[in-house]
Amino acid sequence: MKKVIVIGNGMVGYKFCEKFVASKKYEHYSLTVFGEEPRHAYDRVHLSEYYTGKNSEDLSLSSLQWYTDHNIDLHTSEMITEINRSAKTVSNHRGVKYAYDYLVIATGSSAFVPQIEGIEKEGVFVYRTIEDLEAIESYASKLKSEGKTKAAILGGGLLGLEAANAVKELGLQAHVVEFASKLMPRQLDKGASDMLQATIEELGLTVHLDKQTKNIKGTHAIEGLEYIDHDHLLVDMLVISAGIRPRDEIAKHSGLAIGPRGGIIVDNKMKTSDDCIYAIGEVALYNNMIYGLVAPGYEMANVAVAQITGETDTVMAEDIDMSTQLKLIGTEVASFGNALSTDENIHSIVYENKCKGIYKRINISEDKTKLLGGILIGDSSDYNALFQLYHNNISLPEDPENLILGNREGGDVSPLGNVMDLPNSAQICSCENISKETICTAIQDGTCDTLEDVISCTKAGTGCGGCKPMVKDLVNETLKSLGKEIKDTICEHFDLNRQELFDIIKLKGYRTYDQVLNHYGKGDGCETCKPIIASIMASIYADTANKEEVIQDSNDRFLANIQRNGTYSVVPRIPGGEITPEKLIVLGEIGKKYDLYTKITGGQRIDFFGARLDQLPKIWKELIDHGFESGHAYGKSLRTVKSCVGSTWCRYGMDESVSFAIALENRYKGLRSPHKIKGGVSGCIRECAEARCKDFGVIAVEGGWNLYVCGNGGANPRHAELLAEKIDNENVIKYIDRFLMFYIRTAAPLERTAKWLDNLDGGIEYLKKVVIDDKLGLADELELEMQQLVNHFQCEWTQAIQNEEIMKRFNHFVNSDDTDDSLVFVPLREQKMPQPWQ
């Protein structure tokens, strides 16, 4: 069995492992991987998301178990310090030797640190690893405690701007210092750079161009920067993100050929000057270039695997495409092909809209038949189509300016036309090098039936994600070509999806399940469609769960959450988490009277556990008599709006978060929706209310509130995305009204807002257009519908105890008033719990 050793466990090193285990000849090799960092491979592309709530596990590209399952011997926190080419061994920092037949060097790069006087001072950091981010976060916290707020970022390239946004997220004033006369000088022209600069400065970042730093001022810690033009900038921290340097030291010491400015020289097979050693990723010098993008690194990994296993003779292309599409500080940025050319034989078409922050440029051939490159700022929705025109050398339409101006004669037409017109060889996913043929064949041969199947099977869309819309279009068009209808029906009894049913019920005025089934369904219905239609009716008419047709599940039926021993929990509403001592005493007395297990929930409420079915109405009545009402903890509805104490008490508070949280909770209480909804209001960016993991979250900033939507603290946690900034209370409510009603109208059954946004064509940018810009002309209608629901709110507990028919549900036996005597509890920390299952 031949031994393969990989030095480096970054993104490209991991991709080599992934491609290697997919090889048909993998079983003939043993694979050992060494990584210097204490953790296994993680996603550096989205590193800045570490500051928005993601942890190292969220960023991980796989689990440790994945390495074990594929018989990969992974060594973390272990540095390889020597390569003995004649003996074909490597040695770690402890002197332990490992033999190899093939060696793959994937050591990547380190941050380039310019030779500036004072660079060693305290408060100077690089932006490269999770450990770097942890150190920056810790120092930023220290600065804020001392009342210091300014930080500089050296470098106005892609990583520099990401670092600047990260520093801003930490609550510091971020200053971007760039040596060149424009931002992202390798990707953008002056017009695009100016537009990007204007956009990010509106978000609170300050940009300093044409600045070369001479020295770092300060005695022990940084106090400022001095430039060679004698200008200066007072700052308390410096983050360096000015480029990369290949980590080629170990190769250099072993005698491998190195480029004049660094990097291990490789051929198109990724071979170094030693036939048994390969180099891939940012350490490899190919065509006299270091490629700092993920896609070329992944292709290098694929080529190295093919060469080592001998499965194919795959080689690197002569020309490496450096096209990129990303969202940078909330702004869409893309460039492709020959984007910066000043050749007089190339025609440029430029569209600029300063009001909307949009800049588009395409370069076309002299005969106006071919697209050669382009830049998109503020709106990159056409990037995939434009890239395909460029990459596949497809002839341009008669009016090429329509590619960026749109169809001026009306209609929403893609610049590409039908995606199926692309050649089979068209590269759809550049990160994973997945072609149109691979995606379509996966459907045609029966391997895959859905978009999710294709993504899982081919890996298309799992990199940067920019190709997902085109992947979806290919899947749908291929399914259509096979005669398969693309429809999202709710079940076998209705040939309709939830959105269609919603519209029908609303327009026809149906108030019962049977009416809907008789007119638009078939059969007797099932436990899938009944709750969906119940939810829709509740969302349209504000019907409560006490109406039989609106009962969605067993919890709705009994207005309480059933627990594992057949008892129920009771959760009264405590808006915003604010409660008087008198009401706290009432809750304590009720809990004691009925011998209930009592717990404060994560949503700032008090939960009573262990109530028998027959006790529920009695507990509700006592709660209602003292001013409480149903907290809807059992329903697919608003649960809570969590808050911090805000400016009422907190010395950091920028606004009165408690009052606003109470107002929002009282507005949306009882609102029925496709899934449960939670909100949060934080009085400052310290985010004590965790508003950004909620379905809607509001954070106080200078100038108003920032509104975030579609977060999720559930099975797949994710942070909410910014919908609007610096808006007043009135606009917050207006936008939440529109957002929630649009979600209620269009979401799939049991679809959380986070998943709904993922599936929404255009994502957050499209949602902004609907909610803020009123793109669909629905704003007034959505607000009116929400107000009608607010006006018709009724406490379901109060309804229940006032209705004799409903009260009949709460007897344990149909024909007797006897209670359930089979319940067994055991002690737990001065309270009780159900006896464990045997």
3-state secondary structure of 324: strand
What size, in residues, is the chain?
838
pLDDT digits (tens, 9 = 90+) for 251-272: 999 999 999 999 999 999 999 9
Cα torsion 177, 180, 184, 185 to 10°: value is 180
| pLDDT interval class at 72 (50, 70, 90) | very high
Q: Give yes or no: residues 780 and 659 share one domain.
A: yes
328 within domain boundaries: no
Determine the Cα–Cα distance for residues 143 and 627; give it in Å rounded to an integer. Answer: 46
Q: How confident is the model at residue 716 (pLDDT cuts 50, 70, 90)?
A: low
Point out the least confidently predicted range of 194-203, 461-470, 673-682. 461-470
Taking residues 413-435, report their average pLDDT. 77
Q: How far is CA 623 from the centre of its chain?
A: 41
* Mean pLDDT along residues 62-86: 93
Any idea what the CATH number is for the domain that residue 427 is in?
Answer: 1.10.10.1100
* Domain final position from 286, 309, 332: 309
Q: Who contacts 27 (Cβ-Cβ below 8 Å, separation ≥6)?
A: none
- 152 shares a domain with 130: yes
**Cα 123–chain centre separation:** 30
Q: Are residues 682 and 645 in the same domain?
A: yes
Tell me, what's the pLDDT at 89?
Answer: 97
Number of domains in the chain: 5
237-240 vs 124-126, strand pairing mode: parallel
What value does the mean pLDDT take over residues 153-171?
89
Per-residue pLDDT band at 621 (split at 50, 70, 90): very high
**Among 438-447, 781-790, 806-815, whose mean pLDDT is lowest?**
806-815
User: Within 13 Å and on the Cβ side, how many CA atoms surround 438?
Assistant: 20
Task: Say what the pLDDT of residue 525 is.
Answer: 84
- Residues with Cβ within 8 Å of residue 43, at least 6 apart in sequence: 11, 59, 60, 61
Terminal C-alpha separation, the chain:
49
DSSP-assigned beta bridge partners for residue 572: 630
Range of the domain at 230: 124-242
List 375's β-bridge partners, or say none.
335, 361
Helix, strand and coil percent figures for the chain, each rounded to 5? 35, 25, 45
**Residue 731 forms part of a structural domain:** yes
Phi (first) and psi of residue 533, to 5 degrees? -70, -35
- In this structure, are 231 and 259 located in the same domain? no
Q: Residues 6 or more apart from 810 whose CB is under 8 A from it?
A: 558, 613, 614, 616, 617
Q: In this structure, are 639 and 782 located in the same domain?
A: yes
Same domain, 190 and 286: no
Annotated binding site: 644, 650, 684, 688
Residue 830, pLDDT score: 87
Beta strands in 497-635 (DSSP E): 561-562, 568-570, 597-600, 606-611
pLDDT at 412 over 50: no
State residue 430's pLDDT score. 76
Is 802 among the domain residues?
A: no
Residues making up the binding site for [4Fe-4S] cluster: 644, 650, 684, 688
Detail the DSSP E strand segments found in 247-346.
Answer: 264-265, 277-279, 284-285, 324-328, 331-337
Asked whether the beta carbons of 467 and 477 are under 8 A apart, the reply is no
Domain membership flag for residue 566: no
Domain-ending residue, one of 242, 264, 287: 242
In a domain, 317, yes or no: no
Provide the 3-class DSSP secondary structure of residue 246.
strand
Instruction: Give residue 410's pLDDT.
Output: 41
Give pLDDT tens digits for 527-566.
Answer: 888 889 988 998 999 888 887 766 766 688 888 988 878 8
Q: Residue 435: what pLDDT?
A: 87
Residue 165: name the closest of 203, 131, 210 by CA.
203
Instruction: Give the pLDDT mean for 581-596.
Output: 95
State mean pLDDT over 776-781.
94
- For residue 154, what pLDDT is reported? 95
Nearest to 739 by CA among 706, 772, 763, 714: 772
Strands 102-105 and 89-92, sheet pairing: unpaired
Query: Based on the domain organization, do 238 and 262 belong to the same domain?
Result: no
Q: What would the pLDDT profile of 622-663 be if each residue is shown by its tens digit? A: 999 999 999 999 889 999 999 999 998 998 899 999 999 999
Q: What percent of the chain has pLDDT over 90?
A: 56
Q: What confidence tens digit (pLDDT) does each residue in 449-461 have?
A: 888 788 888 888 7
- 455 and 514, same structural domain? no
Q: Is the pLDDT of residue 91 over 90?
A: yes
The pLDDT value recorded for residue 408 is 47
Task: Please give the annotated binding residues for siroheme, written as ranges.
Answer: 688
Q: CATH code at 741?
A: 3.30.413.10
Q: Is residue 594 part of a domain?
A: no
Q: Domain boundary residue among 255, 289, 309? A: 309
Average pLDDT over every residue of 219-242:
93
What CATH number should be reported for the domain holding residue 95? Answer: 3.50.50.60
* pLDDT tens digits, one per residue of 475-530: 888 988 888 767 677 887 888 888 899 999 999 999 988 999 999 998 888 888 88
What mean pLDDT comes out for the span 442-468?
82
pLDDT of residue 767 exceeding 70: yes
Checking if the pLDDT of 415 tops 70, the result is no
pLDDT class for 406, splitting at 50, 70, 90? Answer: low
Give residue 429's pLDDT band: very low, low, confident or very high (50, 70, 90).
confident
The answer on pLDDT for 777 being more than 90 is: yes
Q: Report if residue 468 sits inside a domain.
A: yes
- Cα distance between residue 42 and residue 344, in whole Å: 44
Give residue 464's pLDDT band: very low, low, confident or very high (50, 70, 90).
low
Whether residue 770 is contained in a domain is answered as yes
Residues 142 and 270 both lie in one domain: no
- Residue 282's pLDDT is 94
Q: d(Cα 558, Cα 567) in Å, to the nearest integer?
A: 11
**Statement to judge: residues 453 and 510 lie in one domain:** no
* Residue 411 binned pLDDT confidence (cut-offs 50, 70, 90): very low
Q: What is the pLDDT of residues 108-125, one digit of tens each?
A: 999 889 999 999 999 999
Residue in 135, 110, 112, 140 with CA at minimum distance from that of residue 125: 135
Q: What is the mean pLDDT of residues 410-423?
A: 65
Q: Is pLDDT at 379 greater than 80 in this prediction?
A: yes
Interatomic CA distance for residues 384 and 573, integer angstroms: 48
Mean of all residue pLDDT scores within the chain: 89
| For the chain, counts of helices (H) and of strands (E) | 27, 38
Half-sphere exposure of 466 (CA within 13 A, CB side): 27
Same domain, 689 and 768: yes
Inter-CA distances, 110 with 44, 116, 247, 543, Å: 13, 17, 6, 60
Are residues 640 and 718 both part of a single domain?
A: yes
